[in-house]
């Protein structure tokens, strides 16, 4: 497969372009609508690439939004139950590749469970994920340092608390991969959080920052993820020493990013299902009680 097509497929996989844009660009490359549709075919037939919650689910209100941040406007995706009333709110921190359809789907999954879910684009300071092209440029301290993510998250919680549908005293955060690490750091910086769920993310650095955590923390780790798992014992010891609530599970046979159902080489259905169930129970206990 030519590199130009590989890059186009990758952009579509990561949610950087719409289906329409994919088709138009594919036609320009291949010169044929049939060939363009053939490239799109695997995405339409594979359940791994299908959203678990339809973007147009009639029970939800989901859309792109913007909110003011310390360094300028922050782009985000918001999903909430259509039913009237006030709901707990959760910020979902994306992985290092930026906001994509998978993270939007995760936000909708939370909304289906009765939460208002906000997924900020933490590359907004660089024009947003499509402009920053993080997979090519790399994220880390250059594009989205932990302090910037904490600032944009705190602004996100302020935005959520202004929404009439949100219970401002029931706020949580979760994140995946790079986003799991950032979510853990956010828990050390943002006051008033009631729960934090970390998916295979490293602990805050320096570890002494955990002294600032107010919320109980749950973490999910893949058994085949030695780099991240190397930090678990020290984290557990520090949290226990400081009287912080920290529960975790290591899922045997699961790799890093085992929850990401758009990556069949990483996705572990059994671990993902169990971790999701534990996540929902954890948030229910701490955000709905």
| Whole-number Å distance between alpha carbons of 126 and 36 | 31
Distance CA 121, CA 152 (A): 9
Q: Is-catalytic flag, 286?
A: no
Cα gap 120→75, rounded to integer Å: 6
- What mean pLDDT is predicted for residues 31-55? 65
The average confidence (pLDDT) of the chain is 90
Nearest to 170 by CA among 190, 151, 188, 195: 195
Q: Where are the domains of the chain?
A: 3-45, 52-288
The predicted pLDDT at position 7 comes to: 77
3 tagged catalytic: no
At residue 44 the predicted structure's pLDDT band, cuts being 50, 70 and 90, is: very low
Render pLDDT for 63-115 as a digit per residue (tens, 0 to 9): 999 999 999 999 999 999 999 999 999 999 999 889 999 999 999 999 999 99
Question: What's the pLDDT tens digit per position in 153-170?
Answer: 999 999 999 999 999 999
Which CATH fold topology does 52-288 show?
Rossmann fold (3.40.50)
Lowest mean pLDDT among 126-130, 167-171, 182-186, 189-193: 126-130
- The one catalytic residue in 94, 220, 256, 286 is 256
Torsion sign (Cα): 24, 30, 32, 38: negative
Provide DSSP, the chain.
Answer: --HHHHHHHHHHHTTSS-HHHHHHHHHHHHS-HHHHHHHHHHHHH-GGGS-SS-TT-TTEEEEEEEEEETTEEEEEEEEEESSSS-EEEEEEE--TT-S-HHHHHHHHHHHHTT-EEEEE-TTGGGT-HHHH-HHHH--HHHHS-HHHHHHHHHHHHHHHHHSTTEEEEEEEEEEETHHHHHHHHHHHH-TT--EEEEES-PPPSSGGGGGG--S-EEEEEEEE-HHHHTTHHHHHHHHHHTT--EEEEEEEEEETTTT-TT-TTT--HHHHHHHHHHHHHHHIIIII-
Which of 126, 177, 268, 286 does the annotation list as catalytic?
A: 177
Q: Is the pLDDT of residue 171 over 90?
A: yes
Given 100, 101, 152, 225, which residue is catalytic?
A: 225
Q: What is the mean pLDDT of residues 57-66?
A: 97
CB of 15 closer than 8 Å to CB of 101:
yes
Q: Is there a catalytic annotation at residue 225?
A: yes
% of the chain residues with pLDDT over 90:
73
**Mean pLDDT across 114-138:** 86
């Amino acid at each position: 497969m030519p590199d130009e097509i590989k890059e186009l497929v990758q952009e579509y996989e990561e949610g950087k372009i719409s289906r329409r844009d994919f088709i138009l660009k594919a036609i320009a490359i291949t010169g044929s609508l049939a060939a363009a549709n053939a490239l799109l075919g695997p995405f339409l037939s594979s359940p791994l690439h299908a959203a678990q919650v339809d973007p147009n689910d009639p029970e939800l209100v989901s859309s792109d939004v913007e909110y003011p941040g310390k360094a300028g406007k922050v782009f985000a995706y918001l999903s909430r139950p259509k039913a009237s009333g006030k709901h707990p709110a959760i910020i979902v921190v994306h992985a290092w590749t930026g906001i994509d359809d998978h993270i939007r789907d995760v936000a909708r999954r939370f909304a289906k469970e009765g939460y208002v879910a906000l997924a900020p684009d933490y590359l907004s300071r660089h024009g947003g994920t499509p402009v920053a092209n993080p997979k090519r440029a790399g994220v880390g301290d250059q594009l989205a340092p932990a302090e910037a993510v904490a600032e944009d998250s705190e602004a996100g919680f302020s935005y959520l608390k202004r929404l009439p549908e949100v219970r401002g005293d029931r706020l949580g955060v979760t994140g995946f991969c790079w986003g799991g690490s950032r979510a853990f750091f956010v828990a050390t910086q943002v006051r008033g959080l009631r729960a934090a769920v970390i998916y295979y993310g490293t602990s805050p650095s320096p570890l002494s920052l955990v002294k600032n955590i107010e919320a109980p923390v749950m973490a999910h780790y893949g058994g085949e993820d030695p780099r991240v798992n190397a930090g678990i014992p020290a984290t557990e010891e520090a949290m226990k020493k400081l009287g912080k609530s920290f529960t975790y599970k290591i899922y045997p046979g699961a790799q890093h990013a085992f929850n990401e159902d758009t990556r069949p080489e990483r996705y572990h259905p059994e671990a993902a299902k169990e971790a999701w169930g534990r996540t929902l129970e954890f948030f229910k206990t701490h955000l709905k009680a």
